[in-house]
A and B are shown apart, each in its own frame.
Chain A
Amino acid sequence: MGKTFIIDDREIAFDGSKTVLQIARENDIYIPSLCYHPKLGPASKCRVCVVEVEGIRALQTACTLMPKEGMKVNTSSERVIDARRMVVNLLLANGNHNCLSCEVNGACELQEAAYRLGIEIPAFVVEEREERDESGVFIMRDPGKCIQCGRCIEGCNRLVVNEVLDFGYRGGHTKVICDGDLPMGQSSCVQCGECVQLCPVGALIEKKGMGKARTWETKKVRTTCPYCGVGCQLELHVKGDQIIRVTGVEDAQPNQGHLCVKGRFGYDFIYSKDRLTTPLIREKDGFREAGWDEALDLVAGKFKQIIKESGPDAIAGVSCARSINEDSYNMQKLFRGVIGTNNIDHCART
């Protein structure tokens, strides 16, 4: 064993590349953290991750603390818990954190910290806070739930580089703003939703999913985005057959959790009332509904007739650049192996 240090009487090896917080998480030791996010790195703002280090007087933030040989870290001393309780109580006092109808109830990192610290009733009185900003087409902002951790701002500026969000004003008036404090819907925001995915609380919410499911009712299904050719990996949060929300799969290639407006919010076309639900056959003045056998017999019969009369090259087909590989494979197999022509193409070059 190389270098080691002690967390809560456990001896743990380290190589100098990771913080105490990262190492604690890898070893299933709970340290709350509200501003730190693995994609963003340490911010050392919220102070909720403080730990006690033997020989150092002040409490240290675990998100910035690098272990040293023989260092002794205590993550749950009375002093640590008291400090964390104070931080969480102040954050709770600084907004309207009503969990009853909050969309992220059950997935909220502030709620989790309060639960772990045994805060049943916030210690301080709730102040009046700002109205919700519902001007964004897909994203709702609730400043009353914002804890000013800065994750959304970092994500907007450093990760997706859309450069819309920032802190505005000073002191007790500090808040997250879009451009020069415009409503989100009037700002330069392109609704990519990176901020929503990073938000540890319910201050940034996907409007489409509001009121549709509690967080613990959904199961996550990984899939690939149906829009451009980047191939972003999506996590569909599904209840029954309904998609409640979509997030990017963290650590996945190629998108590392990031998405754009179409990938994150453009999913519900599959539920449209306009969907084709039955085979249609042309009549003189429009289409009539038909069964599969009739429609397929008609297609196969017509193809056979044309092959007989004019040869297989009188049939041509265009495949779909949106559908799955296996569909395109079967279509070209039908054209080559059954009809007997290479007249098969798709919009390959456009």
Chain B
Amino acid sequence: MIQTDHLTKHYQMGDNIVKALDDVTLHIPKGSFVSIVGPSGSGKSTLMNQLGCLDIPTSGHYRLDGIEVSTMNDNQLAEIRNQKIGFVFQGFDLISKLTAIENVELPLIYAGVGSRQREMRAKEALDKVGLSERIHHIPAELSGGQQQRVAIARALITNPPLILADEPTGNLDSHSGQEIMGLFKSLYQNGNTIVIITHDEHIAEQAQRILRILDGRIVEDREVS
């Protein structure tokens, strides 16, 4: 599913070269529930950008769902993101002037799906996250937890092989956060592959496998009992 080989990312910071990712080789099989944990500056955001096909590595290889991503251009990456990845961000990142259902439909618009099918699938996705009631509300009219559910529905709508969540509970109170984690767990039980990037140990523990990253290297890889 996810296979990286000696994945390395260097940044030029003035005269220094920062090794944000240093020779990361990892394998995440289909249907996993993995959390990538590490303090800020550890390289976890860089790893997330790589896994999320938002950026290409300085060296090394990345195969997602059998496709070599590391040499793609911007347009090819956009297409891969659209088809293979569902993003969930810390700040929900819904488009404020679009209603819940319009936000959820957005990936399908870029995939070129017709409006009738979009609407049907968006309703289905919103139903999966338990939000079939408020589909015509704009984000400002929804609570944080509800907004994050909309974001998850948006991530689910293309049936992507990978759902990538970056601190998905970071902006939520603990109760809403727990609900969102519950939602991820049930998605995992239904066969989705989920990768959560977090600095919160408590959240990380709820995954099936924990990858700990420090100074751009994977320093721990363990199954949660």
A and B are partners in one complex rather than unrelated chains: no
Chain B residues near A (Cβ < 8 Å): none
Chain A residues near B (Cβ < 8 Å): none
